[in-house]
Amino acid sequence: MQKSVHSKVFGQFLKSRRERVQPEEAGIHMTSGRRRTPGLRREEVAYLSHVSVTYYTWLEQGKDIQPSQEVLLNISQALQLSPDEKEHLFNLAYNETLSLPVEEQYNDSLQTTVDNLPFPSFITDQRSKVIFWNREAESMLFPFSSCPSEERYLLQLLFLEGSIRDRIQNWDEFSTYSVAVFRGIYDRFPEDPILNQLLVDLKQQSKLFRELWEQHHIEQKKISFISINDEQGQTKHFRIHSATHVDGNEDLYWCMYVPIS
C-alpha cells in the first residue's frame, strides 16, 4: 500500500490524538508496571474502535486506505474527539483537494462593504492573507496598508509583530485558537507551497508558535473573543464573527470584530 500526502497527515493526526487520551479516561484498567507509550496504545484504540490492530496501524502509518464512516465514528469516540476534531478527521479522510487556488483578483465592491462597517473588519483568504480591511481594523489591529502584500498574513503578523501581540490582553487564549485554526487548514492542504513557507518561517522565528504547533490542536473558525488595548491604552472587548464563502468564493473569510458593550 502506498502513502498519499493526505493519508500521512491523517495518520499523524490520529497518533497525536491517541497520545493525548489516558487509559483511565477510556475506561481501560491499568495493570502494574510502567507504560512506555504516552496515552493509549494502538491495540487499545483498535479494540475501542472495533477494528483489527493491523487495520488501525495501517491508518496511523498513513497507508492509502479509506475507512468507512462507521469506522471513523468509532475512532472519533475512542479518541474522545471534540466536534471540531471530528469534523477535521472526516475532512482528512474524504477531502481529495491538495491545493488552494492561486492568488486571484477579487471583487473590489467588497472593500466598499468593509469600509461601511463601523467596527474593525477585514477579509482574508484561507492562508490568512489580509485582502480587504477598513480604517477601524488598521487603528485597532495593525497598519495593513503599510505592509507589503507578500507579508500581509495575519498569523505571521500575530506571532512576529510585537506591536499586535503586546496589545492583545487575552493573548494566550487567542494565540492558541489562531494556531489551532491554521493547523486545521494546513492539514487539509499540506502541499500548498505558500502555507508550507509560512509554516517554515513561523517555526523558525517563533518559539511559542512551535510549541503550539506541536500540540496538534484543531479548531474550526467560530465565534471567539478578543480584548485589545487601543491607541489610548483603553481596553476594548470584541466578539469575533467569521463568515465563509464571501461573495460566493469559498476561499474567503470575513472577520468582524463586534464591540461588546
Domain of 37, CATH number, reads 1.10.260.40
Q: Are residues 33 and 72 in the same domain?
A: yes
Please say if the pLDDT value at position 250 is more than 90: no
Instruction: Give, in order, the Cα–Cα distances in Å from 143 to each of 85, 147, 148, 235, 236.
Output: 34, 7, 11, 19, 18
pLDDT of residue 4: 59
What is the per-residue pLDDT across 177-218, written as a single tens digit (0 to 9) for each?
A: 999 999 999 998 988 999 999 999 999 999 999 999 999 999
Q: Are residues 70 and 188 in the same domain?
A: no
Other beta carbons within 10 angstroms of residue 135's beta carbon come to 11
Q: Are residues 82 and 206 in the same domain?
A: no
Task: Mark which of 70, 94, 118 sits at the end of a domain.
Answer: 94
Q: Are residues 27 and 119 in the same domain?
A: no
Scanning 143-258, the segments in alpha helix (DSSP H) are 154-160, 162-165, 171-188, 193-205, 207-214
Query: Is 101 among the domain residues?
Result: no
pLDDT of residue 162: 83
What is the per-residue pLDDT across 3-61, written as a single tens digit (0 to 9) for each?
A: 555 788 899 999 999 999 999 888 887 765 677 778 999 999 999 999 999 999 999 99
Query: Is 163 among the domain residues?
Result: yes
Give, as one character, the DSSP assignment of residue 168: B
Please say if the pLDDT value at position 100 is more than 60: yes
Question: In the beta sheet, which residues pair with residue 258?
Answer: 239
pLDDT of residue 96: 63
User: To 10 degrees, what angle do helices 5-18 and 53-60 make?
Assistant: 110
Instruction: Give, in order, the Cα–Cα distances in Å from 194 to each of 11, 41, 114, 200.
Output: 23, 36, 26, 10
Task: Mark which of 94, 128, 149 sits at the end of a domain.
Answer: 94
Q: How many domains does the chain have?
A: 2
Query: Is 49 among the domain residues?
Result: yes
216: phi then psi, degrees, rounded to nearest 5: 55, 35
Task: Mark which of 68, 94, 120 sits at the end of a domain.
Answer: 94
Cell for 92? 482528512
Q: Are residues 149 and 224 in the same domain?
A: yes
Average pLDDT rounded to a whole number, residues 64-69: 90
Query: Is 103 among the domain residues?
Result: no
What is the per-residue pLDDT across 147-185, written as a single tens digit (0 to 9) for each?
A: 999 999 999 999 998 888 889 999 999 999 999 999 999
Comparing CA positions, the residue from 241, 249, 252, 247 lying closest to residue 117 is 241
pLDDT of residue 29: 77
Half-sphere exposure of 242 (CA within 13 A, CB side): 17
Q: Are residues 75 and 138 in the same domain?
A: no
Please say if the pLDDT value at position 70 is more than 70: yes
What is the per-residue pLDDT across 75-96, written as a single tens digit (0 to 9) for each?
A: 999 999 999 999 999 988 887 6
Q: Are residues 63 and 129 in the same domain?
A: no
Tell me, what CATH number does 160's domain have?
Answer: 3.30.450.180
Query: Is 82 among the domain residues?
Result: yes
pTM: 0.83
Q: Are residues 78 and 116 in the same domain?
A: no
Residue at 128: amino acid letter: S
Give the domain range for residue 50: 5-94
